[in-house]
A and B are shown apart, each in its own frame.
Chain A
């Protein structure tokens, strides 16, 4: 069984400040991990993914995330927030080696960027 916990349903930062969105997972097998972004009334867009190899993964729009097995975490960061980053962010997990399996999503974190 898998689960995802996103700490903080709402995060607020100032423009230009560091963005840190937290994601912890539980999985009985090595996981594939994903971050998605959703703008209002739109579908989800893949930001980045971890499958195997390098634990620091870079995605679109300047975001990156680090897979830390010992901490069962996959936190999303961006060095400098932009107003256009305001959106809802979802962390998701699936068991590795079974690329057709279903994803388990966290409950989402709403990011607000203040001018």
Chain B
């Protein structure tokens, strides 16, 4: 059974940093691209960043370029999102999501972790 379990969310001040983790199990982690998707309170979904299965290639939304870095440790089956220079508008539930083969869709999602940026 595929499982994705996010952790690392919490309250952080504007300008601060936070690192999210997503522990994956139930599939060959290194064979699949992964993404982070966020959802501000009461708002819609926003794709944040993606990474290839090998970890060699990463992609980001314009809204987080220069501030967020996605990475993965295939030996630990874990996906990360390093978030720096956090802003109030980054407040959201952050989901990690597995890319469904080569369909450019997301077939498994974690339960999400809440990041609150506030002073």
A binds B: no
> Using a CB–CB distance below 8 Å, which chain A residues touch chain B?
none
